[in-house]
Chain A
Amino acid sequence: MKAFKLENEPKRTTGFKTPEHYFDDFSARVLQQVNDKQEVKVIPIYKRKRVLSLFAAAVMVIGLMIPIVNNYTNTSKDLDEDTLETYLSYQSNLNQYDLIKELDTKDIDKLNKGVALEQETLEDILASNPNIENLISE
C-alpha cells in the first residue's frame, strides 16, 4: 500500500458548508441576544455585598444596644434598696407592727440565719443598751 503523505496530496478542505444566507442575518440575531441580555436587570455582586454588609452592621448595632436598653428598662421599673428604705421611713402609716405582720415563717427563718450573732456579741449589745427592758418587752 502506498504511504499517505500529506505534503504530496492536494490541499484538502474540511468539506463543511453553511446554509445559504446564514451570515445575512447572523449579526442581527446576535445583536438581538445582546440587547435582550442588557434589558434583564442585573444586580452586580458588589452591590449585593454592600447591602449585606450594611445589614450585618445594622444587626451588630442592634445587638450591642440590647444590654443598654435592658439596663435602662430595669432601672426605670425596679426600685433599689435605698429608694425603698427612704420611701418606707417617710411613710408614716407603716409602723414596726405592720412590717412584722407581713413577715411569714420563711422570712423569719431567713432573718434568723442572716443575723448570726456570736454569744459574746449578743451579751455586749445587751449590756451596752440602756433600753434593754423595752427590747425584752417587744
Chain B
Amino acid sequence: MTDEKEFIQELLNPKTQNTAFQKLLSDYQKPLYSHIRNIVLNHDDADDVLQNTFVKVFQYLKNFKGESKLFSWMYRIATNEALTFLNQKAKLSGVTSEALQNKTIDNLKADVYFDGDEIQIKLQKAIVTLPEKQRLVFKMKYFEELKYEEIAEILGTSVGALKASYHHAVKKIEIYVTSN
C-alpha cells in the first residue's frame, strides 16, 4: 500500500509524472483492454474506449483520494467508459444496448480479430440475455478470472451478492445453451 502511495505521488509529481504514467500504461493496458473488449466486443471500439480510459485516468489522478486501490479505481473508470460508450452507440443506432451487442455477436464470425468457435459465440449470445450486473460479474469472474474481492471493490457490492449474481448467471447461461 505504501508502494502504491509512493507510486501515486510519482504520478502527481510533474518531474516523475511521464515515467510513472508509462509504467501505469504498460502494467494495465492489457488487463484493461480485455475488460473493455469483453464489454464492447469489438476491437475498434475497445481501442477507443481504452484510450479514453487512460486519458481520464491521467486527468483525474489529482482527485484520486486513495480510498480504494488504484487497480479497482482504474477498472471502475474503464467499466463506466465502456458502458457509456455502448449506450451512446446504441442510442445513435436507435436500438437497445442488448440489440446492438447481439448484432456485434452475429458479426463475430466475420471479425478478423475473433477466432472463437460456435460454442464461444453461443456463450456470448447467452451472456447478452443476462441483466447488466450479472453480465458484468460473469465476464469478470469467468473470462478475466478476477477474485470476488476485487470485483466487489470495482463494482461497489458485497462478495455475497456477487456470488449470488454469478450463480444465477451460470444457471441462466446453462439453460440458454442447452435449449439453443
The secondary structure that dominates the B interface is: helix
Cβ of A67 under 8 Å from chain B: no
| Residues in chain A near residue B47, CB distance under 8 A | 22
Interface size of A as a range: 20 to 34
Q: Is the CB of B120 within 8 A of A14?
A: yes
Closest to B121 in A: A15
B73 CB–A CB distance under 8 Å: no
Docked-complex contact A29 and B113, CB < 8 angstroms: no
Contact partners of A14 in chain B: CB under 8 A = 34, 37-38, 116, 120, 124, 143
Q: Which residues of A approach B to under 8 Å, CB–CB? A: 1-6, 9, 12-19, 22-23, 26-27, 29-31, 33-34, 37
B interface vs A, CB < 8 Å? 18, 21-22, 25-26, 29-30, 33-34, 37-38, 41, 43, 47, 50-51, 54-55, 58-59, 108, 113-117, 119-121, 123-124, 142-143, 170, 173-174, 177-178
Pick 26 A–B contacts, CB within 8 A, sort by A: A1-B178, A2-B178, A4-B174, A4-B177, A6-B173, A6-B174, A12-B123, A13-B116, A13-B120, A14-B116, A14-B124, A15-B121, A16-B43, A17-B43, A17-B113, A17-B115, A18-B43, A23-B30, A27-B29, A29-B51, A30-B25, A30-B54, A31-B21, A33-B51, A34-B58, A37-B55
